[in-house]
Structure 1
Amino acid sequence: MKKKQWQGWGSGEQAEQHYLVQPRALAGGGDLRHVSEFLRASGWRDKSKTNGPLLMESPDRTVRVAYDPYVLPGGWTFHGRADGPNGEWSAHLGRQTPVEIVAGLTDALTCPRSAHAPNVWAPLEEQNWHTRFEGEHYTATSPDGTAWMQYHHGSDGAAMWWTGAKDEQGNGWTANFTSSSPMHLVQAFSAELANSAPVMRPRGRVPHSAQIRTWSVSVRPSELSAWQQARITAARAATWTRNSARSTRPRTTARPHPHAGSARARH
């Protein structure tokens, strides 16, 4: 699949039943390709072994993203190596973390960092999450009480970001980020966690939970493929723009100043 033109995931034209699910945090894992195909279109290397766990590596080889369903507890693992001012960091997301929320983090990994100071709590507060101190921890909880985000201080003094979602039956997922995780990535994750828009799941892939709401929709495979292709095309376009900007950026050169003996950089 690495070298073939992306053809979409569906075939045929008979409408298929899908469901829109809210809240998205309890929608179940979803299709991994929502994450992996976007990373691949963004220039990431697919290091996966045949029939093995998913393993993707960033173009500069500083970040690795893996999904392994074959071990316990399984799920997503992220590892960022120390790079200049950035320290080493890691994260683990449970296997039932919805891919749309995972993509908040992975999509952000493909984009330049914003000049604005990140604020993990801002997207949650905008969606009316309840924030509070709990001892040494600071916690935000969704309005329906099913999801949370916490900056957690352990008994050993270590800190981490701890988040997840659970229904009344205990079904759901948890995730954690080391305190050294880049804040803009944690904010990108919290923004998708707080996103109130429903996500789509095919028939048979909707979790059984009294805490979710569903709406049945009929979707033609060509429509589904077009939505998926639009996401891939956007990733390729953004990657092309970034690469073009880097290749056309003027280099700093030095030449003698006509009125001084010293050289200065000309931009």
Structure 2
Amino acid sequence: MTKTWTGWGAGADQPQQHYLVEPRHLGGGGDLRFVAEYLRASGWKDISRTGGPIVFDSPDRTVRVGFDPTAMPDGWTISGQAVGQQPAWHATFTTAVPVEIVAGFTDTLTKPRSAHAPNVWAPLEENGWETSQVKEHFTAVSPDRNAWLQFHQDAPGQAHWWAGARTEHGRSWDAVFTPTTPMHLIQGFSAALSDPTPLLRPRGSVPGTKWIRTTSVSVRPSELGSWQQARITAARAATWARNSWAANRPRQHTPAAGPYTAAGTTKTRR
């Protein structure tokens, strides 16, 4: 029998069985640290209590991200305060929303806004989701037709964003955004939602549904740690670059920023 040399410290770094799961919207919740450690590395303040919910505040204290499996609804709650002409907003993700998809939203919170107008539907269409419009209602459905993102506007001021997924056992998860949620955040979510890249899950954490495809892979703890560390390092580097630029830029009068494009407008769909 041929043995594969695994290097020094092999006893603590034996390959472990994991699975690549697709489609990702049915990959299960995953490791909460995927979201939490990125926020910490991006300069967000961890105000969580031992044994209690996860809670992070943005550096300017205008946004709070929390995870509480005992709340109603259970899972992630993200709230933004009213700032200038941007009204307060709120988003929720139930516990089975994959953390990689939640991170599409929360990672975007840590980054500067793009100068380009956000388009929630563009990533979905680019990744093969089917989009449709009926009056003021917009819907995108995944290729397997088991996940969706919808925007419904029944009347001016009466609109909502809603995403979800299902298996043969029924509804798997829900994500809801108030119509005031900044569009670039929802676009970050839609990009992560429709990303065709499979999710990596350890043995014992693969959802019990026949509607997923799995590929068994062997992963060393050191490899997994390196991948996780690369994500954290990228967040720290981006945070350092932003802070360095802000500290060194010349002080000058800045005109008031224009309002965010309302999440409920249909002008952003192209």
TM-score by length of 1: 0.88
Question: For the residues of structure 2 that align with 1:183 and 1:97, how far apart are their CA atoms?
Answer: 20
What amino acid is aligned across from residue 124 of structure 1 in structure 2?
L
Structural RMSD (CA): 1.6
Match of 2:83 in 1: 83
Question: For the residues of structure 2 that align with 1:248 and 1:162, how far apart are their CA atoms?
Answer: 41
Per-residue deviation, residues 15-66 of structure 1 (Å, max 9, x unmatched): 1100000000000000000000000000000011110000000000000000
Q: 1:224 to 1:155 in 2, by over 3 A?
A: same
Match of 2:145 in 1: 145
Match of 1:15 in 2: 15
Shift of 1:207: 0.2
Question: For the residues of structure 2 that align with 1:157 and 1:190, how far apart are their CA atoms?
Answer: 23
5+ residue gaps, structure 2: 1-10, 254-270
Per-residue deviation, residues 84-124 of structure 1 (Å, max 9, x unmatched): 12110001111100000000011100000000000000001
Conserved 8 A contact 2:164-2:171: no
Shift of 1:169: 1.9
Match of 2:231 in 1: 231
SS of 2:170 mapped into structure 1: coil
Match of 1:99 in 2: 99
Match of 1:165 in 2: 165
Question: For the residues of structure 2 that align with 1:192 and 1:20, how far apart are their CA atoms?
Answer: 16
Shift of 1:158: 1.5
Q: 1:237 to 1:157 in 2, by over 3 A?
A: closer
Question: For the residues of structure 2 that align with 1:156 and 1:51, how far apart are their CA atoms?
Answer: 43
Question: For the residues of structure 2 that align with 1:157 and 1:184, how far apart are their CA atoms?
Answer: 20
Conserved 8 A contact 2:20-2:217: yes
Size of the aligned set, in residue pairs, is: 243
Match of 1:61 in 2: 61
Question: For the residues of structure 1 that align with 2:171 and 2:220, how far apart are their CA atoms?
Answer: 31
Question: For the residues of structure 2 that align with 1:136 and 1:114, how far apart are their CA atoms?
Answer: 26
Question: For the residues of structure 1 that align with 2:83 and 2:143, how far apart are their CA atoms?
Answer: 38
Match of 2:42 in 1: 42
Question: For the residues of structure 2 that align with 1:72 and 1:205, how far apart are their CA atoms?
Answer: 24
Shift of 1:252: 3.1
Matched, 1:209 2:209: yes
Q: Which runs of 4+ in 1 moved over 4 A?
A: 154-157
Question: For the residues of structure 1 that align with 2:252 and 2:170, how far apart are their CA atoms?
Answer: 58
Equivalences for residues 114-263 of structure 1 within 5 A: 114-134=114-134, 136-153=136-153, 158-252=158-252
Match of 1:261 in 2: none
Question: For the residues of structure 2 that align with 1:235 and 1:157, how far apart are their CA atoms?
Answer: 36
Question: For the residues of structure 2 that align with 1:154 and 1:90, how far apart are their CA atoms?
Answer: 19
Shift of 1:12: 2.2
Larger mean Cα displacement after TM superposition, 125-134 or 226-235:
125-134
Question: For the residues of structure 2 that align with 1:241 and 1:136, how far apart are their CA atoms?
Answer: 41
Match of 1:265 in 2: none
Fraction of identical pairs, as percent: 60
5+ residue gaps, structure 1: 1-10, 254-267
SS of 1:252 mapped into structure 2: coil
Question: For the residues of structure 1 that align with 2:179 and 2:23, how far apart are their CA atoms?
Answer: 27
Per-residue deviation, residues 139-165 of structure 1 (Å, max 9, x unmatched): 110111011000023589620110011
Per-residue deviation, residues 54-82 of structure 1 (Å, max 9, x unmatched): 00000000000000012343011010000
Question: For the residues of structure 1 that align with 2:76 and 2:46, how far apart are their CA atoms?
Answer: 15
